[in-house]
Amino acid sequence: MEKDHEKFDLACTYMRSGQNVSAYNLLVDLAKMEIKDDNIRAGVYLILASECKSRQGKDPKDEYEMAGKYFLQVAKTNRGQAGTAYRCASKCFLKAGNVESAMKASDEAKRSITRKAEVKRPIVIVDDSDAILIRLRSYLEKLGYHDIHSANNGKAAISLVTKLIGDSQEPTVLLDMQMPDMSGDSVARKLLEKKPDLSIILVTAEGKSEPRVRNTIGLGSAAFIQKPFTINELKNALDTTEQNRIS
């Protein structure tokens, strides 16, 4: 593994210095080794090899076609990486001029995303208003969500989300900006420290341009809903969050 890293570093050095033939040979060798181990990096190495070939004034079609086929193989054998692999395959086939295969791979990528989106993740509602809790729960149930949790203060929210994360769950948090014990931005900061890729949707009466809201969005919040809100606004925020999580 360490030798592979050294070879890749050397290939990058060759590319930077314009030694594209040497870089190409190293990258193709690395790709062949990764293909044996069914590693998605093989496709990346082939794409870089294609770039080296193009810099030599040669047609990189064969390498892009090979990369596309390999990404398809990864997509079919590794469901966790299927969406990403199908998208990479589509782009490689386009580069190779194989439009039909590119369109098929793109369609498979969309289907893969849809299949993942159908798996409803746990939802944690964080709000001190009983009326908002009831409305959100009602909307979520209509949208097909049933694993719904709630907390009416910041400390309870942190404890609840931490437990779900510890149980290997991937919750989406609907977070109000103002609670009795702490502000939403403080809650978001603590949660993102525990899980930087946690999906947080702000649900607040404050405007998107308010400094505290802007700051929380900057921390990594996935979406924003302003009160009062409709079920369609909630659905759009959840869909956006899911698409961002998958991609």
- The amino acid at residue 79 is R
Cα gap 10→24, rounded to integer Å = 11
Numbered ranges of CATH 1.25.40.10 in the chain: 2-116
Q: Which of 98, 92, 152 is nearest to 125 (CA)?
A: 152
Angle between helices 184-194 and 154-166 (to 10 degrees): 20
The CA-CA-CA angle for residues 81, 122, 154, to 5°, reads: 120
The pTM score is: 0.52
**Integer CA distances (angstroms), 85 to 22, 50, 156, in order:** 27, 18, 39
Whether the per-residue pLDDT at 208 is higher than 90: the answer is no
Numbered ranges of CATH 3.40.50.2300 in the chain: 123-246
pLDDT for the residue numbered 92: 93
In the predicted model, what is the mean pLDDT of residues 165-180? 87
**What DSSP element (H or E) covers 123?**
strand 123-126
Strands 123-126 and 148-151: parallel
CATH fold of 2-116 reads 1.25.40
Whether the per-residue pLDDT at 74 is higher than 90: the answer is no
Please compute Rg for the chain using Cα positions.
23
pLDDT for the residue numbered 20: 92
pLDDT for the residue numbered 36: 76
* DSSP codes of every residue in 79-102: GGGHHHHHHHHHHHHHHTT-HHHH
**Residues 190-207: pLDDT tens digits?**
888 888 888 899 888 776
Whether the per-residue pLDDT at 219 is higher than 90: the answer is no
Report domain 123-246's class.
alpha beta
**Residues 139-170: pLDDT tens digits?**
999 888 889 999 999 999 999 999 998 888 88
**Residues 2-21: pLDDT tens digits?**
567 788 889 889 999 999 99
Beta bridge partners of 202: 175, 224
Q: Which strand ranges, in their side-by-side order, compose the sheet holding 123-126?
A: 148-151, 123-126, 172-175, 199-204, 223-226
**Residues 99-125: pLDDT tens digits?**
999 999 988 887 776 555 555 789 999
Question: What is the rounded average pLDDT for all residues in the chain?
Answer: 85
Question: Percent of the chain, pLDDT > 90?
Answer: 40
What is the band of 76 on the pLDDT scale with cuts at 50, 70, 90?
confident
